[in-house]
Amino acid sequence: MEIVATTVQQLVANSRIQTKAAVASDVAETGLALLDAVGRLESMVEKREQLLSDAEAPTSGTTLIEKLRTAGEFDLADHSQSVAHIIATTHQAAVSLFVCQYHLSSHSQEILRLLAGMDTPRTYRRSGAGEERERGGGQLFNDAA
């Protein structure tokens, strides 16, 4: 699990670098590799669930780390804790990267919208009945002309 989690972590880091460099083909290729690695990680998480519910597993504790500590496997529990930390920080980085890529994917359209003075679409479709829509920056250019 550590090897796969580290692989996912590295792929997310590579995708971040490729996103900054605006190399779309590399980002797409890394995305496919990331999808494969996350699939492998998910299958390992399923195996972990089987270990937790095994008849020979300690009865106290709800997580694998807690059960390992109960069984006196402190080194293995600490190692599992470090893998869990890798997964948690990679998850946070992946969510941040997704948000960044989502906004970058429409960056050109946003610039054109601003220059043309088109209405700004509402983010996440918040209710705004009766509210005026924001105007794009194109109106500023028109007024200046």
pLDDT exceeds cutoff 90 at 141: no
Nearest 10 degrees: Cα torsion 49, 50, 53, 57: -110
**51 found inside a domain:** yes
Is 67 inside any structural domain? yes
Q: How many domains in the chain?
A: 1
* 108 is a domain residue: yes
Residue 135 lies in a domain: no
pLDDT tens readout for residues 23-47: 667 777 888 888 899 899 888 888 8
Decide if 46 is inside a domain: yes
Q: How does residue 144 score in pLDDT terms, banded at 50, 70 and 90?
A: low
Domain presence at residue 137: no
How confident is residue 125, by pLDDT bands cut at 50, 70 and 90? low
Compute CA distances 32 → 35, 74, 95, 110, 139, whole Å. 5, 36, 16, 27, 42
The range of the structural domain enclosing residue 93 comes to 1-116
Residue 125 lies in a domain: no
Tokens of 136: 């794009």
For the segment 49-106, what is each residue's pLDDT rounded down to a tens digit?
888 888 888 888 888 899 889 989 999 999 999 999 999 999 998 888 888 777 777 7
